[in-house]
Structure 1
Amino acid sequence: MNIDYPIHFDSRGHTASTGDEDHIRDMIEQLLFTNPGERVNQPDFGSGLLQMVFAPNSPELASALQFTTQASLQRYLGDLIDLRDLRVTVEDAKLNVTVIYAVRRTGSKATETFVRNAA
């Protein structure tokens, strides 16, 4: 079992745990919404996607962020997932990220959408 994210307590008062596939989803979410430099011993961990909410929209920026995000996912989670597709969209101050992947160990496919508001 793995510690569930965000960290919380279960009904017994213990740290909540989760299965492998939910844990992989949690790790993807953490990578997507961590800015490089936030982790002490891994200064390049993260995607920088949250900066996109405040940046002026342009096709060049979207392409660059998509490329760097895909590279981060492959670097840090490439041993766990086979990334099939990644879509990043910004609507007003809302960031939508859709990740399509397969879990390498089981072969199961998943599509997850992560949403963050600027506020």
Structure 2
Amino acid sequence: MSTNTPAYDASNFVGRGFAWPMEIDHTGAIAMSSGAEGLDDAIRVVLMTAPGERLMRPQFGCRIWDLVFEPITANLLGLIAQAVREALAQWEPRIEVEDVLPVQDDKDPGTVRIGVIYRVKATNDRRNLVYPFYVIPREEN
């Protein structure tokens, strides 16, 4: 066995994505994150971006922002889950979404906690992320 074998680097194996929060690196380019830990950042960037928000990439983002003024019902939770699945399937090829579980927060009627359970394709590592999505509740008369 050779002693000159380079150490295993999971960050190269998994890939790279935009760092969050967005910033500029020392070369003047957009900072990138790598490795499985950077996947959470990349997923948040997809979910936080409304389609049409980025001028040079108008299709990028998640359609949950079309639902921000809807009342929280079972139908809305289903639409949120579908929008998240579609966005992550299109914009984050390094993961396989296993489940999306949107649940209304018991303490805040305007918050939906979106649980995303995913698997890192390169390492088969199963991970989860909870993203808070804030809707604007209708006022009662």
* TM superposition score category, shorter chain reference: 0.7 to 0.9
Paired residue secondary structure (2:118): strand
Task: Give distance in 1, aligned partners of 2:55 and 2:68.
Answer: 24
Q: Distance in 2 between matches of 1:36 and 1:5?
A: 18
* Displacement of 1:16: 7.7
User: Displacement, 1:60?
Assistant: 2.1
Q: Give the aligned partner of residue 82 of structure 1.
A: 96
2:126 corresponds, among 90, 102, 109, to 109
Superposition pairs for residues 1-20 of structure 1, below 5 Å? 4-7=19-22, 18-20=33-35
Q: Following superposition of structure 1 onto structure 2, how do residues 9-88 of structure 1 map, counting pairs within 5 Å? A: 18-77=33-92, 79-88=93-102
Task: Using structure 1 for the length normalisation, give the TM-score.
Answer: 0.76
Aligned Cα root-mean-square deviation (Å): 2.7
1:99 aligns with 2:113: no
Residue segments in structure 2 that go unaligned for 5+ positions in a row: 1-10, 25-29, 137-141
TM-score, normalization: structure 2?
A: 0.65
Which of the two has higher C-alpha Rg?
Answer: 2
Query: Is this contact kept in 1: 2:113–2:131, CA < 8 A?
Result: yes
Matched residues, number: 113
